[in-house]
Structures are given as structure tokens and as C-alpha cells.
Amino acid sequence: MDKKSIEQSARALKKAKELVRKFTGLSAEDVDELNERMKAIGTRSSMEQLNRLAAAAGMFGLTDKEKILEFVEAADKVNVALSQF
């Protein structure tokens, strides 16, 4: 991966984290903690994708970190399964 790609990925992840804050109402520290927990999810999805799922959880009214994490895990499994078709 070249420097430009790394920078683009970093910006995309930052934007996705901002969406999590916007839609869930979590603090920056809570989003960072959530991201540490999401790193443990066994998936091929990127952290940007997982953060976008966390933001979607907020759109559905979830604001509790545990519930958001559960949503992300379940939604990620669906996304990975559907990508097989």
C-alpha cells in the first residue's frame, strides 16, 4: 500500500468514526473504546466498514456501546454472507 492509499484510508476511517459519534451520541473516547473492541471481531471487513455499521446502529436508535457492538457483529456477518453471491 502506498502513502497516498494509507492517507486516504486514514481519512475514511476518521470520517466513519465521526459518523459514529454523530449518530450514536458517543464521546470520542467511547468511539475509540468501541473501535478497540471491534478490532477483535473476526472478519475481513475493514475498520471503516465496521464503523459505518456502528453509525447505522445509531441511526436505528442504539446508543449503548454493548448494543452497538452486538449490532455491528450481526450486521457484519450478514454483509460478509451476502458478499458471497
Q: Give alpha helix (H) positions in the chain.
A: 3-24, 28-38, 47-59, 65-82
For the entire predicted model, the pTM comes to 0.92
pLDDT of amino acid 84 = 84
Distance from C-alpha of 83 to C-alpha of 85, rounded to nearest angstrom: 5
Q: What pLDDT is stored for residue 85 in this prediction?
A: 82
The answer to whether the beta carbons of residues 13 and 48 sit under 8 Å apart is yes
Residue 68: its pLDDT value, please?
98
Structural domain for 56, as ranges = 3-82
How many structural domains does the chain have? 1
* 8 Å CB contact between 16 and 52: yes
**Each residue's pLDDT expressed in tens, for the chain with a length of 85 residues:** 788 999 999 999 999 999 999 999 999 999 999 999 999 999 999 999 999 999 999 999 999 999 999 999 999 999 999 988 8
What was the pLDDT predicted at 12?
Answer: 96
